[in-house]
Chains A and B, each alone.
Chain A
Amino acid sequence: MSIYTATAAVPGAAARTGTRTTRVIGVLALVTTAFVVVSAFFLTPADSVQGDSVRIMYAHVPTAWVAYLAFITTAVASGFSLARRHRTLGFDRVAGASGEVGVLFMAMTLLTGSLWGRLTWGTFWQWDPRLTTTLFLFITYVGYLAVRRIDTDPRQRARRSAVIALLAVLEIPLVHFSVVLWRSLHQEASVLSPDGDVRLDDLMLFTLFAGVAAFTLIFAWLVIHRQRLTALADIRQTVGLDAAIALRRSETSGVVK
């Protein structure tokens, strides 16, 4: 007999991970993303130096921003998780969900950067400081996710992964300032440049910010849903364990009788 036989039967349509808030975030994300795609392809002009390849930037820059945001969120949630480790696993779930989404966005940053690099530099990859540190950051967080998948007690998993997240986030300043610290093929920041001078056409800048907003909304939607997924898995495990104990007790009492 399955341990879920008694617990799985939830009558009617079970509530999922969505709520009104996530639906609003989802719709806003779709609308904003649609605008960014239209603007990136049809409204914004080609760059005077990069030509049409600048249209890749409207995907590349926001994915990089969201990856940074995701890893910082992972670190902050991990800090709370460590501080309140005897109370709840909620912060750990947020940290894990944010790490997963961050790895996806970082992978897209590397891929879109590589395609842009082929058009601009004539090569898909260079062991340049920005590219190398970004790859290192990506691999670090793949390792973080691997540690999270080790089959162990959830509280021990939370503690171990929180320590890694707090160390790994220190790589972000290194990646961001790598173009300033070392001689790099990669251009310096166009928006957040050290001298504060924005070197972009108005519509290009607006589209770039809209892209950041769109991908941030997508990030929020994904993290909320994925941390609830982990919660569901944890609850199912607990409910299943309770049911198994109850089943075993009823079997034992039957034998005694």
Chain B
Amino acid sequence: MKDLGFILASWLATLGSIGVLAALTIRRARELSRQVPDDAKPWV
């Protein structure tokens, strides 16, 4: 496949940045969830 480096870089950057944001979101949710009682969470 021609220009594989550019194509891979595009996909890795896109999926990687989404993955990092998702991981940070989950980690922060874990931290904050411990500090808030379940009955105060409207979605529970």
Contact = CB atoms under 8 A, between A and B. Distances in A.
Interface of A: 4, 7-8, 10, 14-19, 33, 37, 40-41, 46, 51-53, 55-56, 59-60, 63, 101, 104, 107-108, 111-112, 115-116, 118-119, 218, 221-222, 225-226, 228-229, 231-233, 235-236, 239
Contacts of A10: 34-38
Given A59-B14, A119-B6, A235-B36, 14 more contacts: A4-B35, A10-B35, A14-B34, A16-B29, A40-B11, A53-B2, A56-B10, A59-B11, A115-B9, A225-B22, A225-B26, A232-B35, A233-B32, A239-B36
A55 B7 contact: yes
Interface in B1-34: 1-4, 6-7, 9-11, 13-15, 17-18, 21-22, 25-26, 28-30, 32-34
22 contacts: A10-B35, A14-B33, A14-B34, A14-B36, A14-B38, A15-B33, A40-B11, A52-B3, A52-B4, A53-B2, A59-B10, A104-B21, A108-B13, A221-B22, A222-B22, A228-B29, A228-B41, A232-B32, A232-B33, A232-B36, A239-B37, A239-B40
Could you say which of B3, B10, B44 has the most chain A C-beta atoms within 10 Å of its C-beta?
B10
Nearest to A227: B43
Given A10-B34, A16-B30, A108 B14 contact: yes
Contacts of B25: 17, 222, 225-226, 229
Contacts of A236: 32, 35-36
A63 B16 CA distance: 13
A239 B33 CA distance: 13
A56 B40 contact: no
Contacts of B22: 218, 221-222, 225
A253 B6 CA distance: 68
Contacts of B4: 52
Contacts of A40: 11
Contact of A112 (B14, B37, B42, B44): B14
B39 to A, nearest CB: 10
Top 9 A-B pairs ranked by shortest CB distance? A232-B32, A17-B29, A14-B33, A112-B10, A16-B33, A56-B10, A15-B44, A59-B14, A52-B2
B22 to A, nearest CB: 7
